[in-house]
Every structure is written in C-alpha cells, then in structure tokens.
Amino acid sequence: MNQIRQFLCLLVLITGIDLRADNNTNAKPIVILISIDGCRWDYVSKFAPPVLSTFAAHGVRAESMLSCFPTKTFPNHYSIATGLRPENHGMISNDMYDPALDAVFSLRNGAARESRWWDGEPIWVTASKQGLRTACMFWPGSEAEIKGIRPDIWLPYDGRITNSERVQTVLSWLSHAESDRPQIVTLYFDIIDTIGHNFGPSTPEVGQALTEVDQALGELQTGVQTLGLESWVNYIIISDHGMTPISTQRRITLDDYIDPATVQIDFRNELIGLRPVDGDYEQLYAKFAGDHPHFKAYRREDIPEDLHFSNHLRIPPVVLVPELGWVINTQVSFSYQDKRGWGNGGAHGYDPKELDMGAIFIAAGPAIKKGAVIKPFENIHIYDMLCTLLDLQPAPNDGDHRLSGQVLRP
C-alpha cells in the first residue's frame, strides 16, 4: 500500500494530478489517540525525544495532566476514553472483585473481554453510534462489546507486538478508502511503563525506551504524510499516570497488622484493598486504628472526597493508601518479589495530586492550536474534547467543555 501512496505522490509531482486521500475536499477529521503508558509529565522535557518535542512545540502541551485515583492503567485509560471517573465507570483498578457478580477481574484472566465489567460509553462507541468508523490498536475496554458495540477493528492485547508493528497496523487501517477509513484510532505503547517499573523513573533505560517510542511515532507521522492525510490527522498523545521510585527499604507488611488469611485482597502493592472473610468491616478497620507513619487506612465511605473513590461496590470496604514511594503487601508476596529481584524500580497508583503521578498531554494537528502550553487538568475532560473535534454528541460524563477551548482551533 505504501508503494501505491509513493506512486501517487510521484504522480502529483510529475503531472500535478492529485489522487491522494487528502485531495478529497469532503474528507473528515481523523483522531489518533496515542497512549504512552507510564510516561511521566517531565520525561519529554528531560529526554527531549525529537518527534514528541516537535509535536509539543507545534501543538498544545499541558504542563502535566492529572490522572484519576488510583493512578493505574485500566482505570485511567477508561476514564480518558469515557470522561467518567473510575467510581462511575466501574473499572476501579487493574484487579478487583465485584460482590454483585461474585467475580474477579484481572488483566490476565480474560475478564477484560466481558461486557459486564465496562460501564459508561467509550469514545469509539459514541463515534460508532453516530456513524463513524473506529479502530483500536489496543486500549483497555476495546476487546469487549460495550453497549452492544465493538470497535470496527480491534485486536486482542498482545504485548509482544513491537512498537513499529503497532504503527504499521494503524497505517494500514488509515490507508483504507475514505468510506472505510476509521476516524478515531487508538494506539497504545506499554514499554515506558515496563521499563519504569524495572529500572525506576528518569533512568537512562527509560530514556532509551522513550527514544524507541519516539521513533515509532516518527514512523507514524511519515506514514500519515505518505498517505496524504496530514491535513486531516490530529494526534492526541497522553499517558495514564506517572512513576515514582520505590525501594525494598520502604515497605509496609500487612502481616504486622492482621493475619492475611482473614481477608480477601482485591488489589495490592501501591495501595491495598481488603474485604474481611467474616464480613465484619468495622472489626477489620479497627486493626488499623490510629495514625501510621507511612500509610492511611480508610473505610470505603471515608476515602477523601477529592479522590472520588467511594461510590462503587467494587471498591473494597477497607483501603490502605501508602505514602508516595511506599508499598504495602503481604510477607509472602514480598518474599516472592525478593526472589525475583523486584522492588527497587518504580511504581504508581498513589494520589494523583503527587507530582510524580503527573501524566503527559500533547496534541498536534490541523484542528489543534499552535504553540500553546496549558495548565494541569484532569484527564476526564479529554472525552468531551474528542467529541468536539469529531463533531459528536457526547454521552453523559464527568468532564466538561473546558479543554476544547484551550486546545482546539475555533
């Protein structure tokens, strides 16, 4: 297909006849929503990757973007896609238990393909309902039927697919005839998060990984140009959360407070969610009574309002939230991690107000303002902006119109 595009470009140069896609004056805006998992707010200025830096300089970038709590992958990708906070879309963590369904969700048990876990309306469903073609090169939620709709094109998640292959796949979808071409495409990169966990944030290894993602984005930009679509494609580049250093010296062992056999642990590590096996929430909470130097214990209903993490049955009745850079787990899990040499890299999941949890937001393209830097904002506002950009009526959501005015050209 690239050869055909190159031939058409040559044809324009020689004859002036332009048969490329962007010669169609009716062509509609296209959005590529790109996630660089775990790309902290300061990585782009620190490592200065050329493609991302140019997008930022020529478009709009946020000083930082505020994630939802918990600052984890699935809750935040789905908040970005729906404009809803986790307590309102139900994807409250990467791992969770639903007492009404009596079922467990985890990234590895196939539950991500089941509709019953996904409330709200992601952007690809909104777009599809209003007649647009949609495609997902990975995104949490994209493998499930939601409100009876799937992306027109999607792939099962497979972390072994290289960055370049992901980009080439997106380009192959964009090369479809206009009637068949997706107008909203997601593209997901996991490597920065993985390297950040393994080596810690801001390490040379993270810099190297960012160079690799940047090269893939360069391939994408070149491919879009070759397809003649540069006048239509808008790049919205985000991350889901930041990353902070952790240490085996900063551990809280659950066994020091309770017998782990007396609870079901819904999620663990940077924060831990507990359900008492005997159902006595108050007695469990009492075990954590008083102040602790490096974590806070909450009943679900007492979790601070600004974290918006109370109003869902999947949020366990007792949640322990550690101080930034501390982790909570059982003795057994810590021993397991030690055997594998884990625990001295990076982590996320903490309060989104912590600077280290800040994410990136960079937008560039024909519909985007040029050269603006905007103040930190919450990621729940992206959905509304995507709807404005694509001329869609948004579904009810927790965000508002503030970002459209700051990012989009009038």
Instruction: Name the residues that contact Zn ion, by CB under 5 A.
Output: 37-38, 73, 193, 240
Binding span for ligand AMP by CB under 6 A among 172-180, 189-197, 230-238, 352-360: 189-197
Which of 33/229 has CB closer to ligand AMP?
A: 33
Q: Which does 194 bind (CB under 5 to 8 A by kind): Zn ion, ligand AMP, none?
A: ligand AMP
Locate 188 and state its tokens.
């997901």
State phi, psi for 242 to the nearest 5 degrees: -100, -145
Write out the binding residues for ligand AMP, residues 72-111 only, by CB under 6 A: 72-73, 94, 107
Q: Which does 107 bind (CB under 5 to 8 A by kind): Zn ion, ligand AMP, none?
A: ligand AMP
* Residue 10 host element (H or E): helix 2-15
Which of 133/241 has CB closer to Zn ion?
A: 241
| Contact residue for ligand AMP among 47, 138, 235, 298 (CB under 6 A) | 138
Write out the binding residues for ligand AMP, residues 16-75 only, by CB under 6 A: 37, 72-73
- The region that residue 325 occupies, defined by phi over 0 for left and psi between -120 and 50 for alpha, beta otherwise, is left
Strand segments, DSSP code E, in 72-227 are 96-98, 103-105, 134-137, 153-154, 184-189
| Nearest-CB residue for Zn ion | 73
Q: Residue 328, interface with ligand AMP (CB under 6 A)?
A: no
Q: Residue 351, interface with ligand AMP (CB under 6 A)?
A: no
| Contact residue for ligand AMP among 194, 215, 225, 310 (CB under 6 A) | 194
Backbone Cα Rg of the chain: 22
How far, in Å, CA of 317 to CA of 281, rounded?
6
Which of 90/394 has CB closer to Zn ion?
A: 90
Which of 113/369 has CB closer to ligand AMP?
A: 113
Q: Residue 193, interface with ligand AMP (CB under 6 A)?
A: yes
Active-site residue, 71 included: no
What sign does the CA torsion over 339, 207, 192, 67 have?
positive
Which of 228/346 has CB closer to Zn ion?
A: 346
Of the candidates 215, 148, 142, 156, which has an alpha carbon nearest to the alpha carbon of residue 185? Answer: 142
Q: Residue 159, interface with ligand AMP (CB under 6 A)?
A: yes
Q: Give the interface size with ligand AMP as a residue count (CB under 6 A).
A: 13
* Window 118-137: contact mask with ligand AMP (x via CB under 6 A): --------------------
C-beta of residue 137 within 8 angstroms of C-beta of residue 188: yes
For 207, other C-beta atoms within 10 Å of its C-beta total 15
How far, in Å, CA of 54 to CA of 297, rounded?
44
Q: How far is the CB of 17 from Zn ion (least distance, A)?
A: 47
C-beta of residue 166 within 8 angstroms of C-beta of residue 213: no
| Contact residue for ligand AMP among 121, 190, 214, 398 (CB under 6 A) | 190
Q: Which does 1 bind (CB under 5 to 8 A by kind): ligand AMP, Zn ion, none?
A: none
Q: What is 42-80 written as a DSSP string?
A: THHHHH--HHHHHHHHHSEEES-EEPPSS--HHHHHHHH
Interhelix angle 73-82/382-389, nearest 10 degrees: 40
C-beta of residue 362 within 8 angstroms of C-beta of residue 55: yes
Of 15, 25, 54, 73, the catalytic one is: 73
Which of 98/240 has CB closer to ligand AMP?
A: 240
Q: How far is the CB of 289 from ligand AMP (least distance, A)?
A: 30
Reduced to 3 DSSP states, what percent helix, strand and coil does the chain have, rounded to the nearest 5? 35, 20, 45
The residues that touch ligand AMP, with contacts defined as CB under 6 A, are 37, 72-73, 94, 107, 112, 138, 140, 157, 159, 190, 193-194
Write out the catalytic residue numbers: 73
